Amino acid sequence: MSSTRTVTVASSQGLHARPAKLFVEAAQAAGAEVTIAKGEKSVNAASILGVLSLGVDKGDEVLLTAEGENEEQTLDSLETFLKTDHDEAS
């Protein structure tokens, strides 16, 4: 079984290098297998190259899917991450 959630990305520069790296680290630490999709393209959320290849910009909607232990907690934490502007402090 898996859980999904649609999230609107808030970072003013989208998921470029630094926010993408932080997102991937959070996905890797989650304990569940996570994918992120934009449009028809879906990638492993623990892959920096995969996440960057999506070209996610501010305001884009992405679909997160988690499978494994703590699916809902994983989605909660990744949703919070994506709804935060990680470029604000730059």
Active site residues: 16
Output the six-digit token pair for 2: 């898996």
For residue 80, give every residue at least 6 positions away whose Cβ sits within 8 Å of its Cβ, in sequence order, or none. Answer: none
Dihedral sign of CA atoms 63, 64, 68, 72 in order: negative
